[in-house]
């Protein structure tokens, strides 16, 4: 009888210790700095959403603001748990995508008006030299395969485009305008036209820890969308929008 009790106690202690070791207490996120979304000071729409997801589960948020390409590599090499605002790419490796997106962006083509007096949408990219910020991988979302180059920053992209190093720059309109304002870059000679919409996600590293964090994210987002809690966070930041569940 005493032996049985001792065995039960040992199993209980082992189980408790294992649970304590397995329990995740922090999530390390990486992102670029986007004004009103991922501020260096911890303010922003995405930070508010992710705190609401994880803090009730006893998981605190830690984050690093780094260039986009480095953020991608940190997640793929398991140096960070997740990247904020990554796009869905069917053939992406080293990533775990969740059920719920966090945003949907319109990608625009920025070009000199004189170069394309008759714009024909995505078809106009054919035969042109196109550029985007390194790591955006827009080639994986386009229906055509343009001749493209990757630039390190939006600043360098706009500077190179002004010197006719390429014909068309693909990016978010808001980011192009913000960067142009910072650079005092005159956009008057340029035109911007929508190309496609791209859903962005909190994308996790492909590991058991990543799978646990993704499971928590999916479960919490299910509840937060149903209760309209997450919609309230978006509304606080001026968005009349709600995350959508992927139909992949």
Q: How does pLDDT run across 85-98, given as a tens digit for each residue?
A: 999 888 788 999 99
pLDDT for the residue numbered 242: 86
pLDDT for the residue numbered 1: 52
Query: Rounded to an integer, what distance in angstroms lies between the CA atom of residue 167 and that of residue 147?
Result: 10
Percentage of the chain beyond pLDDT 70 is 90
Domain spanning 104-198, CATH class: alpha beta
pLDDT band at 135 (very low <50, low <70, confident <90, very high): confident
All structural domains of the chain with their residue ranges? 23-103+199-236, 104-198
pLDDT for the residue numbered 157: 96
% helix, strand, coil for the chain, step of 5:
40, 25, 35
Common-topology check for domains 23-103+199-236 and 104-198: yes
Give yes or no for residue 35 having a pLDDT over 60. yes
Q: At the topology level of CATH, where does 23-103+199-236 sit? A: D-Maltodextrin-Binding Protein; domain 2 (3.40.190)
Query: Rounded to an integer, what distance in angstroms lies between the CA atom of residue 164 and that of residue 78?
Result: 39
Give yes or no for residue 199 having a pLDDT over 50. yes
Cα angle 79, 81, 82 (rounded to 5 degrees) comes to: 115
Query: Rounded to an integer, what distance in angstroms lies between the CA atom of residue 76 and that of residue 89?
Result: 14
Across 1-5, 88-92, 108-112, least confident range: 1-5
């Amino acid at each position: 009888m005493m032996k049985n009790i001792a065995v039960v106690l040992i199993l209980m202690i082992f189980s408790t210790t294992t649970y304590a070791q397995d329990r995740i207490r922090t999530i390390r996120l990486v992102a670029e700095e986007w004004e009103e979304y991922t501020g260096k000071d911890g303010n922003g729409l995405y930070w508010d959403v992710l705190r609401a997801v994880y803090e009730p589960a006893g998981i605190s948020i830690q984050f690093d603001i780094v260039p986009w390409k480095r953020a991608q590599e940190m997640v793929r090499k398991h140096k960070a748990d997740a990247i904020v605002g990554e796009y869905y790419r069917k053939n992406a490796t080293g990533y775990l995508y969740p059920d719920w997106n966090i945003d949907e962006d319109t990608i625009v083509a920025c070009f000199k008006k004189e170069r394309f007096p008759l714009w024909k949408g995505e078809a106009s990219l054919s035969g042109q030299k196109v550029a985007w910020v390194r790591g955006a991988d827009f080639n994986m979302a386009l229906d055509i395969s343009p001749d493209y180059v990757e630039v390190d920053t939006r600043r360098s992209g706009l500077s190179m485009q002004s010197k006719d190093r390429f014909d068309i720059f693909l990016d978010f309109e808001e980011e192009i305008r913000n960067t142009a304002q910072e650079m005092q870059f005159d956009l008057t000679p340029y035109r911007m036209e929508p190309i496609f919409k791209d859903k962005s996600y909190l994308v996790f590293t492909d590991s058991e820890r990543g799978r646990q964090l993704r499971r928590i994210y999916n479960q919490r987002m299910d509840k937060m969308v149903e209760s309209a809690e997450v919609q309230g966070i978006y509304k606080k930041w001026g968005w009349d929008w709600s995350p959508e569940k992927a139909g992949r």
